[in-house]
Structure 1
Amino acid sequence: MTINLENEQELEIPFDYEETAGQIVTKILDEEKCPYEAEVSITFVDDEEIRRVNREFRGIDKVTDVLSFPVTQFTPPADFSILEDDEAAADSFDPESGELQLGDILISVSRAMKQAEEYGHSLKREIGFLIAHSVLHLMGYDHMTEEEATVMEKKQARYLEDLGITRDAQIPDGGVRSDKH
């Protein structure tokens, strides 16, 4: 597995984000039974850059926390059998390494910091959530319907919990936040 990780923003990320990203991507690929060595690109950017990319590629002129750009359209999600078709596989594998190219993920670190504070958990948990969420998107999972959202949320929560990347704070009134973020 290859994770191309770039940090193109200036804020300090106070944990070993390379190790964390590796653990999350590996966990999801294993759990989703990916039969190939895979490659994922993750880039940490600032709000200005993620807004620019969001505007350019999605026509939405606003800052967001994360963007995912899959190489292959998996339908149904994580159905790697579609890669047995030579035509579908042609653009999905790196010709040099032979690895399955899942796609690119952009994460706004400043937005992740704000959300971590808002949700009352660590930056590691927020960035971990965004990575897990995006890797699932790269494998065809979505949350456009309530049913899809439920499936995706359960997977994200379970994978992060299995890795010990959990919420480490509660909301001030003593309640517990939902795991949508």
Structure 2
Amino acid sequence: MYVYIEKEKKIVLAIHYKKIIKDVVNAVLKYENCPFECEVSVIITDDEGIRDYNNRYRGIDKSTDVLSFPFIEYKIPADFKDFDKNPLMFNPENNALMLGDIIISAEHIESQACEYGHSKKRELAFLVAHSMLHLLGYDHENDNERLIMEEKQRSILNGEGYIR
């Protein structure tokens, strides 16, 4: 597993964010039975930074907690069948399946942890799990999709000890 984490210099997180991110990425891939080594990039920024990304890439001029930019379009979420037949999905330098990018707002980690009454560790873990599921093709456009994602997030986070 290759997880590239970049935290902007001005961001201060008083938690072991690298370990949390790597552990949750790994837990999601294990939960979804991913048969490949994978690659994910994570950027931690502030509300201004995520607002810029959101505006630039999605045309939405407001901040948000997390953005997911999947590299792969799935017919069925987390269906890895026949991926090995498409070498363009794999980084030629490390042979890892390139899942995509995650961008997280550090300010939202703090405010949402306070709002929901749990730790910053749990909030970061939730945002990573949520975003990883998006990178694996899950969405929450309707109630059925939302319920599926919520159950997967809960199972993954509980399995890692991030209980609400």
Indicate the TM-score class for this superposition, using the shorter chain for normalisation: over 0.9
User: 2:45 aligns to what?
Assistant: 45
Bigger relative contact order (CA 8 A; separation at least 6) = 2
User: 1:159 aligns to what?
Assistant: 156
Larger CA Rg, structure 1 vs 2 = 1
5 Å-filtered alignment, 1:48-67, equals 48-67=48-67
Partners of 2:139 and 2:149 within 8 A in 1: yes
**What do you get for the CA RMSD once the two structures are aligned?**
1.1
Picking from 102, 106, 114, the partner of 1:109 is 106
Partners of 2:11 and 2:45 within 8 A in 1: no
In structure 1, runs of 5+ residues without a counterpart are: 168-181
Partners of 1:9 and 1:46 within 8 A in 2: no
In structure 2, runs of 5+ residues without a counterpart are: none
5 Å-filtered alignment, 1:1-181, equals 1-8=1-8, 10-86=10-86, 89-90=87-88, 92-167=89-164
Partners of 2:44 and 2:105 within 8 A in 1: yes
d(CA) in 2 for partners of 1:96 and 1:77?
Answer: 26
SS at match of 1:81: coil
4+ residue stretches of structure 1 with deviation over 2 A? 9-12
SS at match of 1:80: coil
d(CA) in 2 for partners of 1:75 and 1:13?
Answer: 37
How many aligned residue pairs are there? 164
TM-score normalised by L of structure 2: 0.96
Q: CA deviation at 1:99?
A: 0.3
SS at match of 2:36: coil
Q: CA deviation at 1:81?
A: 1.1
Partners of 1:9 and 1:44 within 8 A in 2: no
d(CA) in 2 for partners of 1:9 and 1:138?
Answer: 26
d(CA) in 1 for partners of 2:60 and 2:74?
Answer: 24
**Identity %, equivalent residues:** 46
TM-score normalised by L of structure 1: 0.87
